[in-house]
């Protein structure tokens, strides 16, 4: 059994410790919001926050998250609430097919947690490991800046 804190709750995973975290999340944990894109940490679709840092869950073995905090897109905000980044993505309609969005929102949430007031260059730099094929990059950047503004307002 591997113990980890998943979206704020202690859980145990039964899978072989070498199993990619992505497969554990989508399989055993039933959290399918984290996407498979490439299996080579080259697209960002499978990003999760590991102790606050955005990492590729497709190449992270389960054993590497023993005792650590893992946050997926489902856990960015408690319950049915939306994280400011999620709300801003809706407000800006910053999506087309939406497949890349989970990983992008995870990257952005990680950024805002360590830098609540990023400028545009910082947002772009934080998202540069995430690919999007539909071409909503500019909308996403606007949304993340908007989310940062919303946090300022609090």
Partner 1 sequence: MSTPVEERVSISSGGVITVIAGKVELGQGVLTALSQIAADALGADLAQVRLVAARTDGGPDEGLTAGSLSIQRGGPPLREACARVRAACVAEAARRWGVSPDEVTVRRGEFRSGDLTATYADLAKALELPMEDVRAVQEERDYVGTSVPRVDLPDKVAGRPRFIHDLRLPDQLYGRVLRPPSPAARLARPAPLPQDLRVVRDGSFLGVLAETEAEADRALGRLRRLTEWDDHDTLPDERDLRTYLRAGPHETVPVCEATGEPPEGEVVGATYSRPFLAHASMAPSAAAARWNPDGTVEVWTHSQGLFLLRRALADVLGLDLGRVVVRHVEGAGCYGHNGADDVALDAALLARECGGRPVLVRWSRADELTWSPFGSAMSVDVSAVVDAAGSVRSWEYDVWSQGHISRPTYGGEPNLLAGAHLERPWTYRAATDPPPQAGAGMTRNAEPIYDFPRARITGHRLTRTPIRSSALRSLGAFMNVFAIESFMDELALAAGRDPLAYRLDHLSDPRGREVLRRAADAAGWGRPGLGIGFAQYKGYGAYCAAVAEVEAEEELRVRRLTIAVDVGLVVNPDGVRNQIEGGAIQATSWTLKEQVRFDRRAITSRDWESYPILRFSETPEVVVELVEDPAQPSVGAGEAAQGPVAAAIANAVAASVEVRVRDLPITRDAVIRAMG
Cβ-based burial of 5 (10 A; exposed 0-12, middle 13-18, buried ≥19): middle
110 binds partner 1 (CB under 8 A): no
β-strands 69-71, 53-56 pairing: unpaired
| Nearest distance, CB of residue 68 and partner 1, angstroms | 20
Q: Total residues contacting partner 1 (rule CB under 8 A)?
A: 55
Assess 134 for contact with partner 1 (CB under 8 A): yes
Applying the rule CB under 8 A, the residues between 16 and 75 that interact with partner 1 are 16, 19-20, 23-24, 26-27, 31-40, 42-43, 45, 72-74
118 with 147: CB under 8 angstroms? no
Is 15 one of the binding residues for partner 1 (CB under 8 A)?
Answer: yes
Contact 135, 98 (CB under 8 A): no
**By CB under 8 A, is residue 101 in contact with partner 1?**
yes
CA pair distance 16, 43, nearest whole angstrom: 25
| Beta carbon of residue 136, minimum distance to partner 1 (angstroms, whole number) | 6
């Amino acid at each position: 059994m591997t113990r980890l804190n998943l979206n704020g709750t202690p859980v145990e995973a039964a899978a072989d410790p070498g199993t990619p975290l992505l497969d554990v999340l989508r399989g055993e944990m039933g959290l399918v919001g984290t996407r498979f894109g490439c299996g080579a940490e080259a697209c960002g679709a499978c990003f999760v926050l590991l102790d606050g840092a955005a990492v590729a869950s497709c190449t992270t073995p389960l054993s590497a998250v023993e005792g650590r905090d893992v946050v997926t897109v489902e856990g960015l905000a408690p319950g049915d609430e939306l994280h400011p980044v999620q709300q801003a993505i809706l407000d800006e309609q910053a999506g087309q097919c939406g497949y890349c969005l989970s990983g992008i929102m995870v990257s952005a949430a990680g950024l805002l947690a360590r830098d609540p007031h990023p400028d545009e260059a910082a947002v772009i730099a934080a998202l540069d490991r995430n690919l999007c094929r539909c071409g909503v990059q500019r909308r996403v950047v606007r949304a993340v800046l908007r989310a940062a503004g919303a946090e300022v307002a609090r």
